[in-house]
């Protein structure tokens, strides 16, 4: 009974299952207006399994959804109907293809593509410039956290050093039969 079920391949129109107001439609419409020529120049060979523009859209949509791992993106491409809709009839890319694209081909052109994407959002009126966000991230440096010195501490230590230098210069002068006042 189940053997017949495995042999039947039904066409799946995933677009019907996605709500009409889902932002995946807006993202694809925006990305269709982008200029991907710099991205295509990153590919020396003309042969590729999946279109680089489609991979870019998949990555942007994954980032919007909070998915960053190439393995999780691969899984989403195989199980989430929104990712399937982006792919169309293409096979889901494997995690290594996604990682190579993410860390290799996309790196030289990502700033340009995101700039174009933001420009499209501005033209649509989706960016209002009404809020300003400041990043207050604190990152631990390799330097010792105790090496920061206040100016009063420096002045105090400088005075101690001057006193010590006077004592040492007097001691050296007596030891070597030199005049004590060298200045």
pLDDT in tens, the chain (183 residues): 444 444 544 456 666 678 888 888 888 888 999 999 898 888 776 666 788 899 999 999 999 999 999 999 999 999 988 998 898 878 899 999 999 888 888 888 889 999 999 888 888 888 777 777 777 777 766 666 666 667 777 788 888 888 888 888 878 777 777 665 544
> Does any domain span residue 137?
no
In sequence order, what are the residues at sequence separation of 6 or more whose Cβ sits closer than 8 angstroms to the Cβ of residue 71? 95
Q: Domain of 114?
A: 11-124
Instruction: Write down the residue that tokens 């039969």 correspond to.
Output: 177
Query: Cα–Cα distance between 67 and 36 in angstroms, integer?
Result: 23
How many domains is the chain partitioned into structurally? Answer: 2
Q: Same structural domain for residues 28 and 92? A: yes
Residues 106 and 155 in one domain: no
Residue 129 lies in a domain: no
The token pair that represents 33 in the structure block = 């207006």
**Does one domain contain both 28 and 113?**
yes
Position 46 in a domain: yes
Q: Is residue 59 part of a domain?
A: yes
Same domain for 115 and 152, yes or no, is no
Q: 164 and 106 in one domain? A: no
In a domain, 134, yes or no: no
Same domain, 99 and 16: yes
Answer yes or no: do 35 and 118 share one domain.
yes
Is residue 132 one of the residues assigned to a domain?
A: no
> Are residues 106 and 16 part of one domain?
yes
Phi, psi of 182, deg, nearest 5: -85, -10
Residue 3, in any domain of the structure = no
Residues 19 and 100 in one domain: yes
pLDDT at 5: 45
Confidence at residue 1, expressed as pLDDT on a 0 to 100 scale: 43
Query: What sign results for the dihedral spanned by CA atoms 80, 84, 86, 87?
Result: positive
Residues 88 and 176 in one domain: no
Residues 178 and 105 in one domain: no
> Does the predicted TM-score (pTM) go above 0.85?
no
**66 within a domain of the structure (yes/no):** yes
Whether residues 82 and 32 fall in one domain = yes
Res 46: pLDDT: 63
Instruction: Note the pLDDT of residue 170.
Output: 79
Distance of alpha carbon 99 from alpha carbon 62, whole angstroms: 13
């Amino acid at each position: 009974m189940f053997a017949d079920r495995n042999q039947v391949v039904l066409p799946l129109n995933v677009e019907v299952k996605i709500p009409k107001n889902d932002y995946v439609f807006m993202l694809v419409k925006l990305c269709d207006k982008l200029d991907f020529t710099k991205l295509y120049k990153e590919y020396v060979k003309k042969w590729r399994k999946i279109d680089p523009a489609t991979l870019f859209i998949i990555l942007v949509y994954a980032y919007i959804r909070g998915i960053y791992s190439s393995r999780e993106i691969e899984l989403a491409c195989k199980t989430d109907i929104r990712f399937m809709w982006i792919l169309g009839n293409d096979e889901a890319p494997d995690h290594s293809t996604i990682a190579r694209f993410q860390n290799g081909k996309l790196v030289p052109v990502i700033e340009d593509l995101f700039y174009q994407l933001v420009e499209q959002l501005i033209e649509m009126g989706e960016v209002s410039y009404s809020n300003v966000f400041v990043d207050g991230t604190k990152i631990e440096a390799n330097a010792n956290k105790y090496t920061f010195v206040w100016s009063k501490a420096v002045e105090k230590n400088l005075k101690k050093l001057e006193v010590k230098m006077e004592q040492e210069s007097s001691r050296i002068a007596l030891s070597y039969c030199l005049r004590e006042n060298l200045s």
